[in-house]
Chain A
Amino acid sequence: MTDIWVYLAQTPLLWLTATLLVYYLADLGYQRVRQWTLANPVLLSVVLLVIFLTVTGTPYQRYFDGAQFVHFLLGPTTVALALPLWRYASRLRRMLLPLSAALLVGSLTSVLSVVAIGRLTGVSEVTLRSLAPKSVTTPIAMGISEQIGGLPSLTAVLVIVTGIIGAVIAQDLFDRLRLNDQAARGLAIGVASHGIGTARALQMHAEAGAFAGLAMGLNGALTALLTPILAQILGL
């Protein structure tokens, strides 16, 4: 029995199957509780897999070696966000000025608010530097973090947590604010919580998803340009 386990634990087959199965069950559960926000399938899957790996004493690297085939699909799927975006191109063109203003202010707000609140709650300086780019997609965030003296690997985790928080709270927040404009919903999710938020926006509405994808891409570039300057001004 242990021989079989030792063999399987080293093959992609086991970890690929585990990832798909756990996500399938998490999504099923999410539908069963009528999309109750805290039952977010990404959150559930991550929690279940972390418990499973911890119990079986499997190091993350061994799991990732197998699950990387799923991870790889993030790339082409990000490119595929061009299609929903294209569908709303005419609306996009009419909104060029408002979109640019919202992106710029949103990007600044994300960095400034996280540093200000982090100082209030007493987060350490190195964690603060790792937190600054938390709203942008992982590869960009890690680069920014390194540039301003944060810990890139910590940033990667904080980015994922931010994405999950955004995906979990977005619907309730928008409903409570009676924010019904799908473009505004999507843009807000994409700026605040990058790809994980965009995945949630796509489930909410096609137009929200299109604007979230755009916001994720442009906010990433904008934050990369702005954060080193902000870090200097804020004395990070």
Chain B
Amino acid sequence: MLRGMTVLLICQLIGEVTARALNLPMPGPVLGMLLLFSVLLWRGAPEWLDQVAQGLLRFLPLFFVPAGVGIMNHVQLMRAEWPAIAITLLVSTVITMIVTAGVLLLFLRLTDARKASTHATNHD
């Protein structure tokens, strides 16, 4: 538990320092995630790290609550434009999800088709 948490915090710290030092447009924790991912590709994931990660990830939604409550500071600002903003966000989110998933599936099909055709020519 202690070991796993320490590893996660070290990765976050390195990510934070790197982002600031190199002026990267990425938050420290996201860089930390990519760093830990590359270490895992190289060394694999030990059980003690996996346990801590699973424990934390189960409660990920909870960790957004304090920031979410910050909405109360902007109720005034958004009151006039609220319906337009809500419609805009809803429609844009739906479109973004459909397009992203659609492009992925389309390209998966295309690359599968290419693989299938190279297989076919190999057989010939």
Query: Taking beta carbons and an 8 Å cutoff, which residues of A are in contact with B?
Result: 19-20, 22-23, 41-42, 45-46, 49-50, 53-54, 60, 63-64, 67-68, 70-71, 73-87, 89, 95, 97-99, 101-103, 105-106, 109-110, 113-114, 117-118, 121-124, 127, 131, 134-135, 137-140, 143-144, 153-154, 156-158, 160-167, 169-170, 173-174, 177, 179, 181, 183-185, 187-189, 191-193, 195-196, 198-200, 202-203, 209, 213, 215-217, 220-221, 224-225
Query: Taking beta carbons and an 8 Å cutoff, which residues of B are in contact with A?
Result: 5, 8-9, 11-12, 15, 24-30, 32-37, 40-41, 45, 49-50, 52-54, 56-57, 59-74, 77-78, 81, 84-101, 103-108, 110-111
- C-alpha spacing A85/B81, complex, angstroms: 39
- C-alpha spacing A195/B68, complex, angstroms: 12
Q: Which residues of chain A come closer than 8 Å to B32, judged between CB atoms? A: 75, 78-79
- C-alpha spacing A154/B81, complex, angstroms: 12
- Write 25 A-B pairs (CB below 8 A) sorted by A numbering: A41-B61, A53-B72, A77-B59, A79-B29, A80-B53, A82-B53, A83-B53, A87-B45, A89-B41, A97-B107, A98-B106, A98-B108, A113-B92, A113-B95, A118-B88, A134-B92, A161-B86, A187-B100, A187-B104, A195-B60, A195-B64, A203-B61, A213-B33, A215-B100, A221-B30
Contact B72 A134 (CB under 8 A): no
Q: Which residues of chain A come closer than 8 Å to B95, judged between CB atoms? A: 109, 113
- C-alpha spacing A79/B35, complex, angstroms: 9
Contact of A123 among B9, B81, B106 (CB under 8 A): B81
Q: Which residues of chain B come closer than 8 Å to A135, judged between CB atoms? A: 93, 96
Contact B71 A50 (CB under 8 A): yes
Contact B64 A74 (CB under 8 A): yes
- C-alpha spacing A118/B77, complex, angstroms: 17
Contact A76 B8 (CB under 8 A): yes
- State how many angstroms separate the Cβ of A11 from the closest Cβ of chain B: 15
